[in-house]
Amino acid sequence: MMTESIYNLIPQEEIRPPKKAMYQSQFRSKVKEEKKTNKSPNRTMGPAKVDLHQTSEFLKKRSGEPKLPASEPFKYADDERKRPPVPKANEKPLMGLKSNKDFVKTNAVENIMSVPRKPAANFADTVHGSTHPLEPSGLVPVYTSKKNFGKVPEYLTKRNEEVRRAQEEYDDYIREHYRRGAMKNLSESERQSIIDGLKKNWEGIHHQYQGLSMVTDTAPKKARKERLEAEMKQLERDIELLEKHNVIYISH
């Protein structure tokens, strides 16, 4: 605390202590240069000086729209594309052939009877499902490209030759026995009469079979039913054998 004194009424000059020197980095100049590098003034804020419009040059309605050229009637470059004029009320256009076909029903029937189209055979080679045709890819065998395609296999040729040779030997054997008189060739009329007789016998046995009792509770009924069934089966086999072969030889 200062004591009261007349000298204190006189303002004294304030003595400030000297400030220490401010710290400056040794990279300050380098940072300033880097900051100015690749920088240009007014790049994002526009030019520093902008010419102001006059008060009479304010925006008006539709002033920003582009000015289109004057409209002209459309004309084709050539006269061939012009459509014929619409016929008048008193004119009757020439009609073609008139058909009574009901196209709606015809199309409905065709779609109902049509076979659905089979999907194309493709394969996917990526996880995203990129598809390609399967046939030219080489992933499936193409039999038409084989060297022996369309040719008869060798084993079939040998088999046909063996069958032909066996048939010739059998024909020679039959002709030899037929020449000696040991076998007789059955004529067509005789073969047909035998077939008709077998069918007639089958019908008679079948009529007896239809007359059997529905319940086969006794041994004689069961035995008769089994006998009739066996006779009909044997007649069916004989009829099938005679109808299958046109040339039949019988031995004396």
Phi-psi category of residue 188: left, alpha or beta, with phi > 0 → left and psi -120 to 50 → alpha:
alpha
Residue at 159 is within a domain: yes
User: What is the domain extent for residue 200?
Assistant: 186-251
Residue at 220 is within a domain: yes
Give me the amino acid identity at 244: K
pLDDT in tens, 194-246: 999 999 999 999 999 998 888 888 888 889 999 999 999 999 999 998 888 88
What is the pLDDT, as a whole number, of residue 168? 92
Residue at 208 is within a domain: yes
Distance, in Å, from the CA atom of 131 to the CA atom of 143, rounded to the nearest integer, reads: 23
Q: Where a domain ends, among 181, 198, 226?
A: 181
Helix (H) or strand (E) holding 198, with range, is: helix 188-210
What is the pLDDT, as a whole number, of residue 2? 56
Helix (H) or strand (E) holding 103, with range, is: helix 103-113
Distance, in Å, from the CA atom of 172 to the CA atom of 177, rounded to the nearest integer, reads: 9
175 shares its domain with 199: no
165 shares its domain with 215: no
What is the pLDDT, as a whole number, of residue 93? 66
Domain count, the chain: 2
173 shares its domain with 195: no
What is the pLDDT, as a whole number, of residue 12? 81
Q: Where a domain ends, among 161, 181, 201?
A: 181
Greatest CA separation for the chain: 184
pLDDT in tens, 115-158: 888 888 888 888 888 888 888 888 888 888 888 888 888 999 99
195 shares its domain with 176: no
Residue at 240 is within a domain: yes
Distance, in Å, from the CA atom of 160 to the CA atom of 108, rounded to the nearest integer, reads: 51
Contact 205, 161 (CB under 8 A): no
Residue at 51 is within a domain: no
